[in-house]
Chain A
């Protein structure tokens, strides 16, 4: 039945591509979470009236974030080709997509981190200061735990965006479902391959969203 509906789909190829998409999304989501969190926290701490309030640093970090957030992803991949080649020695394959995915998503996520941190009650930070907490303690024990639900729903949105980015990265040779849909599906006019790849991408997105929502609601004790 399924083979009749999708006559041209080669399932082993489809599963390989699915694995590649999950691999790229997974690794880049984790790296984006760490990098975006770090940039977001820096952006927050250097903003006015905060612990490391500093106009210049804040401006530089903010400008960096805005520049990388504004470059369309497909162009960013091309711009980063020399960097990727230098880093990994190749521009093909799933790993070669990772630098562009992370650099494209981290600034986007950093903005979400900033918004999440701004939502924290100022009084709570003041209370921690009044107890004699160091800045590192405030970061690890106040800022991150107190904004965790927003940080998680932000990373969920970012992961979904990253699934889309991997598909774009696929068109220039990174592999994955995007690559399969473009090369095997579009260029050879096999619509059923494109459709199947799309369906699997949708399923991946739904699963990410479901897991994200589930964990967020579990840890939110407000």
Chain B
């Protein structure tokens, strides 16, 4: 569906050449939600703008839906852009237009007739849940509502790809979740390919199927979201995963429980998928005659299934503890003994 082949993008600035994107190759499949995560300045804004030709690569090819976006221009590029729509961090609505006029704007650009426009706008307003606000101006809407207008506007010309440029970064956590649910719903209902960039791992975890991690213009890691969560490789990925798995908090609680229970072993268990639903703790206590103290627990829902970590203190007879650990290994659960440094 989308293919980036050896993309590089250089900018000439007063302080010399800056490499925004450095030899990136990516493939994004039809119908998937693909996330690109990185801190600001990592090159993700440039990346997403390469996909609709707002930026041209210095070298490499960008293919979207079989069309080489990086080489077309003029009317061809404008026609292609109608099928690759975009939503923005700051919504970028026209303040001089009402909600329905904003949504009608891309239809006007595409030359759709007035009656048809009205029909389509009504449909879209229902789809994004803004019924009753048709005549409002953007200044009368909340951030979440503005982004809904942005999404409706982006869907007006039945696009094949939706690009989300930090679409939830200006929203509060609850509104972020609502907008993400809406995107997920659209992805399922319309089979739309979604590419999003973000600096929040929460967004990736909640809706993305696959993720690419960017640092200093390069993709340092990519793959299935669940796999990246369970087994992050690059240091920056580990940092991002920490954002949502709350490992920092648990360090404090481990210190506390170590003080309270200076004996025993601290073990971190990571579960993926259905294994997170097995009664492992009960098994340990019953079968191995050990005490199990829960220090910290956390289950995250990702688009590909649940992912959880549990930190426990196992105490009891030394032999029993060893047996228990061996049993955990046999369960295909990642068990890692943690010692405080």
> Do they bind each other?
yes
Q: Report which A residues bind B (CB closer than 8 A).
A: 121, 123-124, 126-134, 137, 141-142, 145-146, 148, 219, 221-222
Bound-state Cα–Cα, A132 to B93, Å? 15
Interface residues of B in 152-208 (CB under 8 A from A): 153, 157, 163
Bound-state Cα–Cα, A222 to B137, Å? 8
- Which residues does chain A contribute within 8 Å of B106, judged by CB atoms? 131-132
Given contacts A130-B81, A133-B109, contact A123 B96 (CB under 8 A): no
Bound-state Cα–Cα, A66 to B94, Å? 32
Bound-state Cα–Cα, A49 to B163, Å? 23
Bound-state Cα–Cα, A115 to B139, Å? 22
The main secondary structure of chain B at its interface with chain A is mixed
- In the complex, the answer to whether B54 meets A221 with C-beta atoms within 8 Å is no
**Distance to closest chain A CB from B43 (angstroms):** 18
- Which residues does chain B contribute within 8 Å of A124, judged by CB atoms? 92-94
Bound-state Cα–Cα, A29 to B163, Å? 45
- Which residues does chain A contribute within 8 Å of B94, judged by CB atoms? 124, 142, 145-146
Contacting residue for B109 out of A121, A123, A126, A132, CB 8 A: A132
The main secondary structure of chain A at its interface with chain B is helix
Given contacts A126-B54, A130-B52, contact A222 B95 (CB under 8 A): yes
Contacting residue for B79 out of A121, A132, A141, A146, CB 8 A: A132
- Which residues does chain B contribute within 8 Å of A137, judged by CB atoms? 108-109
Bound-state Cα–Cα, A222 to B141, Å? 11
**Distance to closest chain B CB from A192 (angstroms):** 48
- In the complex, the answer to whether B54 meets A130 with C-beta atoms within 8 Å is yes
Residues of B in contact, count (CB < 8 Å): 30
A-B pairs with beta carbons under 8 Å apart, 6 shown: A124-B92, A130-B86, A131-B109, A132-B82, A145-B97, A221-B95
- Which residues does chain A contribute within 8 Å of B52, judged by CB atoms? 130
**Distance to closest chain B CB from A101 (angstroms):** 30
- In the complex, the answer to whether B95 meets A134 with C-beta atoms within 8 Å is no
Bound-state Cα–Cα, A131 to B110, Å? 9
CB within 8 Å: A-B pair count: 67
Question: Given contacts A131-B82, A133-B78, could you give 14 more A-B pairs where the C-beta distance is less than 8 Å?
Answer: A121-B92, A124-B93, A126-B88, A127-B86, A131-B85, A132-B77, A132-B78, A132-B82, A132-B106, A141-B108, A145-B94, A145-B97, A146-B95, A222-B139
**Distance to closest chain A CB from B54 (angstroms):** 6
Bound-state Cα–Cα, A177 to B86, Å? 57
- Which residues does chain A contribute within 8 Å of B81, judged by CB atoms? 129-132
3 tightest CB-CB pairs across the interface, nearest first?
A: A132-B81, A132-B78, A127-B92
- In the complex, the answer to whether A221 meets B137 with C-beta atoms within 8 Å is yes
- Which residues does chain B contribute within 8 Å of A121, judged by CB atoms? 90, 92
**Distance to closest chain A CB from B44 (angstroms):** 16
| Residue in chain B with minimal CB distance to A134 | B78
- In the complex, the answer to whether A130 meets B85 with C-beta atoms within 8 Å is yes
- In the complex, the answer to whether B109 meets A127 with C-beta atoms within 8 Å is no
- In the complex, the answer to whether A148 meets B96 with C-beta atoms within 8 Å is yes
- Which residues does chain A contribute within 8 Å of B92, judged by CB atoms? 121, 123-124, 126-127
- Which residues does chain A contribute within 8 Å of B88, judged by CB atoms? 123, 126-127
- Which residues does chain A contribute within 8 Å of B108, judged by CB atoms? 137, 141
- In the complex, the answer to whether A221 meets B79 with C-beta atoms within 8 Å is no
Given contacts A148-B96, A222-B139, contact A123 B90 (CB under 8 A): yes
Bound-state Cα–Cα, A221 to B81, Å? 29
- Which residues does chain A contribute within 8 Å of B90, judged by CB atoms? 121, 123
Bound-state Cα–Cα, A183 to B95, Å? 51
From A126, A134, A145, A221, residue with most partner B Cβ within 10 Å: A221
Bound-state Cα–Cα, A126 to B90, Å? 12
- Which residues does chain A contribute within 8 Å of B137, judged by CB atoms? 221
Flag whether B105 is at the interface (Cβ < 8 A): yes
**Distance to closest chain B CB from A107 (angstroms):** 27
| Residue in chain B with minimal CB distance to A144 | B96
